[in-house]
Structure 1
Amino acid sequence: MYKSEKVVNLRELRQSCANCALNQLCLPASIGGEDLQRLDHLVQQRRPLERGELLYREGDGNPSLFVVRSGSLKSYVTLPEGDVQILGFHIAGELVGLDGLAGNGNQCTTEALERSSMCEVPLDTLSEMAGQVPGLQRQLFRVMGREFGREFDHPVMMGRKQAMSRLAIFLRSLSDRRRGVGQDPHELQLSMSRQDLANYLGLVIETISRLFSRMQTLGVLKVDRRIVRILDPVGLATLAEKPDDDKG
């Protein structure tokens, strides 16, 4: 893991991070003055990661909480037989590193899918400060609750038998996440490979390609390589919610 470099002045980030999880975590309305100065020294900006570089490895000690400022990442675990299981993808404006809250180091490996930058908040220092600043503690619980809630999307998807429903649930969730951080919810840039997406959804890559073609034929999506434009949000929701016993 690379050392942190530059301390970020949070006051200078108010505009650039207005729609970012950093705003929700570090700039709650009830924090100001001396407490805000303490936060200034807590949040650090890491050097950008290039595609394929690791943010942290499974088992790393001294975990931190990260806010993705640009780019995207994937998290995965290595199974006993050596295979990799992808657990999730992280986009700009979201938190990464909650797996380190268990207290036994990081529980997974997180890798950049493209050139990505992030801010770092050491968990031990954040926990100590949150206990001293009620406003920060409330915001921390709120943001963590939202992130944990998002992780339920994966078991919901894996519980669906229809491959079309799994992909539709993923795309709808990604659209909602982009809306939540102030980005266009109808234009999705899939920085992950089709193989990574297939792994995450428990499908094979040929099925992923066939499903995208089918959704495009139905007029739900327009697919241009890694750019997916949602043309019919209602149609996408219908596919996501289709019962498993519906063969139509």
Structure 2
Amino acid sequence: MGILTSPIPIQAIKTLCTNCGVRDLCLSIGLSNEDVERLASIVTQRVKIRKGAPLYHAGEPLRSLYAIRYGFFKTTITSEDGREQITGFQMAGEILGIDAISENRHACNALALEDSEVCPIHFPQLERLSHELPSLQSNFNKLLSREIVRDHEMLLLMGNLNADERFAAFLLNLSHRMLSRGYSPHAFVLRMSREDIGSYLGLRLETICRAIARLREMNIVRISGRAVEILNLDALRGLVAGCNRHRQS
């Protein structure tokens, strides 16, 4: 089994939420300690997911949203002919399961890219609590808005940027997210494979490899295996902004 449930007492959950390292990135941002405890009361257990195991599958009914406490995930959809398309990568402080709200069933699959832990938030209870706590409802609305903005950014990425620019934008996105979590924006490890990156960006594997080589040649990044070091963040931003376009080979 890939999923390991770890039931713990409610009081321990409350303490966990109040002191959580990603509290300021989650639904509890800006809530008082008392309101955080009310939110924590609908999180009945933490769930651990082993690397490579699914958190949920497309078509399964909506039961909970999942706040990522630590770890890294990818979400995928599968076409009628069996091809897999990666729709996103999620890390600590982000919420999984929003795709299921409109139809009450998950539209995608969520798989762990490393050993991870999530806090399931029972959705019907979350809806009821949101009516009682305007600040929680506001946070939830902002969360949904961020998902829409992310979709728009992805459309821009796919429609207007060449391969080098798409990969540069991908690295910039990870850099920004690492910084918001208190980590270095210049050095981090890719949890996903190059094939996964290619699927997400709509590029072939060989195109991803060429983009990496060109950014190395420009002394913008240094990439060894999955270890990334951004040498010139301004140049990376300039590339995404189209300040220095390079033709794809």
Normalization by structure 2: what TM-score?
0.88
Determine if the alignment matches structure 1 residue 136 to structure 2 residue 136.
yes
Q: Alpha-carbon deviations, 1:155-180, whole Å to 9, x = none?
A: 12111351111111111112112222
Conserved 8 A contact 1:160-1:244: no
Instruction: Confirm whether residue 21 of structure 1 aligns to residue 25 of structure 2.
Output: yes
Structure 2, unpaired ranges of 5+:
none
Whether the aligned pair in 2 keeps the contact of 1:19 and 1:181 (CA below 8 Å) is no
Aligned to 2:13: 9
> What is the alpha-carbon distance in structure 2 between the residues aligned to residue 12 and residue 113 of structure 1?
24
Task: Answer with 182-191 or 126-135: which moved more.
Answer: 182-191
Secondary structure of the corresponding residue to residue 16 of structure 1: coil
Q: Which amino acid aligns with 1:175?
A: S
Kindly indicate whether the alpha-carbon contact (under 8 Å) linking 1:5 and 1:45 is maintained by their aligned counterparts in 2.
Answer: yes
**1:116 matches 2:116:** yes
Larger displacement relative to structure 2 (13-22 or 152-161): 13-22
Q: Is the 8 A contact 2:66 2:120 kept in 1?
A: yes
Task: State the superposition RMSD in angstroms.
Answer: 2.4
Post-superposition CA distance 1:39-82 (Å, at most 9, x none): 23212443321111001100111332111121100001110111
Cα distance in 1 between the residues matched to 2:183 and 2:148: 21
The alpha-carbon distance between structure 1 residues 184 and 240, as it changes in their structure 2 partners (threshold 3 A), is same
**CA-CA distance at 1:247 after TM superposition:** 4.1
Residues 232, 18 of structure 1: alpha-carbon distance in 2 compared, 3 angstrom cutoff: same
Matched-pair contact (CA < 8 Å) for 1:163–1:203: yes
Whether the 8 Å CA contact 1:50–1:115 is kept in 2: the answer is yes
Kindly tell me: are residues 37 and 174 of structure 1, through their superposed partners in 2, closer, same or farther at Cα, counting changes over 3 Å? closer
- Taking the aligned partners of 1:240 and 1:217, their CA distance within structure 2 comes to 17
Match of residue 78 from structure 2: 78
Count of residues in Structure 1 that have an aligned counterpart in Structure 2: 244
Alpha-carbon deviation of 1:226?
0.6
